[in-house]
């Protein structure tokens, strides 16, 4: 059974959070980087949030399948990544921007719809069994989608508008989950007798670690905020690795 993953969302007027020029006022005036703080989330009501989540999920599932089938290795592996799906929930929460319940509900809805649209696309494109939409393994992925919506949807909103340490922790979550998945890929290859398989898993681990570093530098605010965020990402990656290890074992 494949493990699955997500990325996602849209543009500025209802899309990805704007990258601020000099948005580091909370961490020091004139420090550029991070998500812009705006009041846009206050205008994004429940119907807009949930409707956008459904549309984004319907798009994301087939795109994820296309990534697996069309991109060369190792990039195709990103379509099979739990961290990418978590990043999608984070970005959706950051798009919502404020509040607590709306980012969580929107991100969870996005992931739930994306899981089912992924399996539906697999049925239509590569003739997988339609029963995959309600198989036991899929129910496990749907449960994980809700958890990811809770943790990463909220994290995205906190990275956008949370106070103090909450913003720091929220912004560190994407890097943490990519580091955790890097650890999973490394341990999958470590000790395997197949040299080609070991090399592939180690290349995967390096790719995920590089993405974690890039995310920390992009999302963080100012030089100090970026390095603090990376340190928090490394710390959070430890329980994240344990959680992913348990999930991979349970879904194998």
Residues 166 and 102: their CA atoms lie apart, in Å, by 17
Q: If we measure between CA atoms, which residue out of 155, 212, 156 comes closest to residue 180?
A: 212
How confident is the model over 63-75, as pLDDT tens digits?
999 999 999 888 9
- pLDDT given for residue 13 in this prediction: 39
pLDDT digits (tens, 9 = 90+) for 6-64: 434 433 433 334 333 333 434 443 345 566 554 544 567 889 999 999 999 999 999 99
**In the predicted structure, residue 84 carries a pLDDT above the cut 70:** yes
Average pLDDT score, the chain: 83
| Number of C-beta neighbours around residue 70 at 10 A | 10
- Give the CA radius of gyration of the chain: 18
Cα(168)–Cα(109) distance, rounded to whole angstroms? 25
Contact in structure between 205 and 189 (CB atoms under 8 Å)? yes
pTM exceeding 0.95: no
Residue that the structure tokens 């970026």 belong to = 226
pLDDT tens per residue across span 205-228: 999 999 999 999 998 888 888 889
Non-local (6+) Cβ contacts of 62 within 8 A are 117, 118, 121, 125
Tokens matching residue 63 = 């795109």
Per-residue pLDDT reduced to its tens digit, 175-197: 999 999 999 999 888 877 777 77
pLDDT at 221: 80
Note whether 233 and 216 are within 8 A (CB): yes
What is the torsional sign of CA 35, 242, 239, 116? positive
With cut-offs at 50, 70 and 90, classify the pLDDT of residue 80: confident
Residue 91 pLDDT greater than 70, yes or no = yes
b/e code 152-177 from CB counts within 10 Å (16+ = b): bbbbbbbbbbbeeeebbbbbbbbbbb
């Amino acid at each position: 059974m494949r493990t699955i993953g997500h990325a996602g969302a849209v543009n500025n007027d209802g899309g990805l959070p704007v990258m601020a020029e000099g948005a580091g006022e909370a961490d020091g005036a004139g420090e550029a980087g991070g998500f812009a703080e705006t009041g846009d989330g206050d205008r994004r009501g429940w119907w807009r949030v949930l409707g956008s989540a459904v549309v984004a999920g319907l798009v994301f599932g087939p795109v994820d399948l296309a990534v697996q089938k069309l991109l060369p290795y190792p990039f195709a592996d990103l379509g099979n990544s739990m961290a990418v799906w978590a990043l999608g929930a984070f970005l959706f929460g950051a798009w919502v921007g404020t509040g607590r319940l709306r980012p969580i509900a929107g991100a969870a809805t996005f992931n739930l719809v994306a899981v089912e649209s992924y399996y539906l696309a697999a049925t239509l494109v590569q003739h997988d069994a339609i029963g995959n939409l309600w198989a036991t393994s899929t129910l496990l992925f749907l449960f994980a989608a809700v958890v990811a919506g809770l943790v990463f949807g909220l994290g995205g909103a906190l990275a956008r508008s949370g106070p103090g340490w909450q913003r720091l922790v929220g912004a560190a979550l994407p890097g943490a989950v990519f580091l955790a998945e890097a650890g999973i890929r490394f341990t999958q290859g470590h000790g395997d007798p197949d040299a080609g398989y070991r090399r592939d898993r180690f290349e995967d681990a390096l790719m995920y670690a590089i993405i974690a570093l890039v995310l920390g530098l992009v999302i963080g605010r100012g030089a100090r905020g970026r390095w603090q965020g990376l340190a928090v990402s490394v710390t959070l990656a430890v329980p994240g690795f344990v959680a992913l290890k348990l999930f991979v074992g349970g879904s194998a």
